[in-house]
Amino acid sequence: MSRSNNASRIARRLHRRGLHLALVAVGLVVLRAESCSKDDFYDPFSANGFADDSAPLIGSLLPTPNTILNDVMIMATITDPQGTNGATPSGVDESSISATGNDGADLAITAAGANMYNADIADWSDGLRMVTWSALDLAGNETTAPQTFTIDRTAPEVEVDPAPPTSASSDDEQFSWTVGIDITELHFLDASYRVTLAGPDEECGTGDDVTPTAEQVPTSTFPLEEGGNSVEVVTNNGVESGGEPRTAIYCGQVTARDEALTKSGGSASNTTTTPFFRTELEWLPPPGGGGFTIDLGNPVPGYCHIAAGDSRTYTGFGTNPLKVSAAYAITWSGPGLVGGSTRSGTLGTNGRGFDEQMINQLGTYPFVVMVTADGVTESASGSVTVGAAQGACQQLSSHRFKQGIVSLLPAEIRPLGLNPVSFRYREPWGDPEVARLGLVAEEVAAVFPEAVGRDERGRPQTIEYRILSRRVVETAVGRVGEAIEAAIGRVAAGL
């Protein structure tokens, strides 16, 4: 046999044996895979020869720090970045992810999407909580991240005492009752007491209930604060003299909310809504005679110095019994009247009027109010003495005394951070029929706190416009000076 033929046979045998050895190798790999670990597949060194030395990143924690939380889950995003030395990331070891509470117990973890993980806090009670998230990558690098929040799944506590009467009757022009409302809530957001009228089914809380008009209930929604509240509900008699009695059913209800949020920041307020307080009031025809008296007040006669050369006296007035839309005239006298001294009009739907008289001197300013209703004219007089003791005007400027507040300028162009608004006063702090322009004490306190007066509880209440005007001028001049100084500096730098 030739040497060349012998070589050919040897080559064919090795080829067959090589195929056999390859099959054996595949079988060993399959058997090995049945008991492998991450160490069998993870190469600690990248193609560039560096090991992954950077721990995973734990971020996008929800809820954000100091959130008042009403939720059953919290969330974190966990990723493994490229190493600081350029090594290829080894990847997050999902089996290592944990979230441990400040009580030392581990929370149940579930995947919530790409790189996102939820931790279950459904069994946790209210209170301040801290969770520590931790994770390893496949290279064994570990990281931790703290998360702090407050759980609040408890609705505000509301107590009503005294409660409205369940029934009453009256032939007066007005009938009122006082409701005591106490709200206990550590994370208070807002609350209100709202009065509606039962519809034809005479039941409170059904679909035919209606919001009363101002002629029926002058104020039907009352904002409430955390703590004690006293609400006076005033109702008007709509029965004419000599008319038939009628029954009105008034439904009062308290709603209170706290500041709780979901983990992603959406509102999840715990809300308490009381059962309806039902008052069945029988309105009787008012006694005949047509006589009435004029009450001064709402507010009582007073004085307000707005700014130099712009001062005024003012008074409110109404009738007893109530005479809605009655004609009135008011005349002022005194040493420093500006403009006309007599004005006329009609009482509003709340049965009240309000008048301001411009003045420019100190002194005593008498006034006379005349009201005509049902063919009868009555009058009342009063006066206010304006002296140096009145000082600058401290207008009641808190949002607690105002309604219908609307900003007049976009935030980006408000002068010196001040927010001019239009509004109407709530009774009895001003005439709600008159639209006004001004500022809100709470907002001014954030910019010029020295121009804001506070009540006995430390809440912003009034604006001292004389101080505010001075501070605005000082700030504006200071900013102009800074701009001029900066401009001079730029010119000098170029010389």
CA angle (286, 290, 293) in 5-degree steps? 100
- pLDDT range class, residue 429, cuts 50, 70, 90: low
Higher-scoring residue by pLDDT: 265, 19: 265
pLDDT at 482: 59
Q: Residue 465 phi/psi, 5° resolution?
A: -65, -30
Same fold, 57-151 and 293-389: yes
Largest CA distance in the chain: 150
Cut 0.85: pTM above it: no
Higher-scoring residue by pLDDT: 191, 304: 191
Which of 15-19, 45-49, 83-87, 406-410 is least confident?
15-19
Q: Which CATH architecture has domain 157-283?
A: Sandwich (2.60)
Average pLDDT rounded to a whole number, residues 186-207: 96
- pLDDT range class, residue 303, cuts 50, 70, 90: low
User: How does pLDDT run across 256-274, given as a tens digit for each residue?
Assistant: 999 999 999 999 999 999 9
Residue 103 in tokens: 């009580």
Other CB atoms within 10 A of residue 232 CB: 10
pLDDT at 428: 59
pLDDT at 14: 39
**Beta carbons of 379 and 369 less than 8 angstroms apart:** yes
Q: Is the pLDDT confidence value at 478 over 90?
A: no
User: How does pLDDT run across 465-474, given as a tens digit for each residue?
Assistant: 767 777 776 7
3-state DSSP call for residue 283? strand
Interacting residues of 65 by C-beta distance below 8 A, sequence separation 6+: 147, 148, 149
DSSP track, 152-219: ---PPEEEESSPPPSEEEE-SSEEEEEEEEEEE-TTEEEEEEEEEE--TT--TTSTT-BPPPTTT-S-
Looking up tokens 């006004």 gives: 436
d(CA 72, CA 193): 31
Looking up tokens 């009240």 gives: 352
Max avg pLDDT among 236-240, 307-311, 473-477, 486-490: 236-240
pLDDT at 39: 46
- pLDDT range class, residue 185, cuts 50, 70, 90: very high
Q: Which CATH architecture has domain 57-151?
A: Sandwich (2.60)
Q: Kindly report whether the peptide bond that precedes residue 63 is cis, defined as omega within 30 degrees of 0.
A: yes
pLDDT at 377: 86
Which of 30-34, 232-236, 268-272, 436-440 is least confident?
30-34
d(CA 279, CA 175): 12
Q: Is the pLDDT confidence value at 479 over 80?
A: no
- pLDDT range class, residue 91, cuts 50, 70, 90: very high
3-state DSSP call for residue 123? coil
CA angle (238, 241, 243) in 5-degree steps? 75
Sorted by where each begins, the domain ranges of the chain are 3-36, 57-151, 157-283, 293-389, 395-473
3-state DSSP call for residue 388? helix
- pLDDT range class, residue 7, cuts 50, 70, 90: very low
User: How does pLDDT run across 42-89, given as a tens digit for each residue?
Assistant: 555 555 567 888 899 999 999 999 999 999 999 999 999 887 777 889
Higher-scoring residue by pLDDT: 477, 181: 181
3-state DSSP call for residue 109? strand
pLDDT at 238: 81
d(CA 470, CA 309): 16
pLDDT at 262: 97
pLDDT at 351: 82
Interacting residues of 254 by C-beta distance below 8 A, sequence separation 6+: 158, 160, 181, 191, 192, 193, 224, 272, 273, 274
- Sequence letter at residue 206: T
Higher-scoring residue by pLDDT: 360, 36: 360
- 352-359/73-79 β-pairing: unpaired
- pLDDT range class, residue 300, cuts 50, 70, 90: low
d(CA 314, CA 382): 11
Cα–Cα distance list, 417 to 412, 414, 466, 474 (Å): 9, 5, 18, 14
3-state DSSP call for residue 413? helix
CA angle (411, 415, 421) in 5-degree steps? 65
Q: Is the pLDDT confidence value at 459 over 80?
A: yes
**Domain 293-389 classified CATH 2.60.40.2550?**
yes
Mean of per-residue pLDDT scores for the chain: 82
Q: Is the pLDDT confidence value at 234 over 70?
A: yes
Which of 12-16, 194-198, 346-350, 472-476 is least confident?
12-16
User: How does pLDDT run across 102-137, given as a tens digit for each residue?
Assistant: 889 999 999 998 999 999 999 999 999 999 999 999
Residue 421 in tokens: 């608004």
Nearest to 384 by CA among 318, 332, 347: 332
Percent of the chain clearing pLDDT 70 (strictly above)? 79
Q: Residue 470 phi/psi, 5° resolution?
A: -65, -45
